[in-house]
Amino acid sequence: MAGTSEASAERAARDQALAWFVRMNSGDATQADAARFSAWLGEDPRHRREYDRLGGIWSDLDVLPDPRTARSAFSPLNDR
pLDDT at 5 over 70: yes
**CB-based contact 58:20 (threshold 8 Å):** no
pLDDT at 76 over 70: no
pLDDT at 19: 97
Distance (Å, whole) CA 52 – CA 22 = 13
Sign of the Cα torsion 51, 54, 58, 63 reads positive
In this prediction the pTM is 0.70
pLDDT at 60 over 80: no
> Could you read off the pLDDT of 8-48 as tens digits, one per residue?
999 999 999 999 999 999 999 999 999 999 999 999 999 99
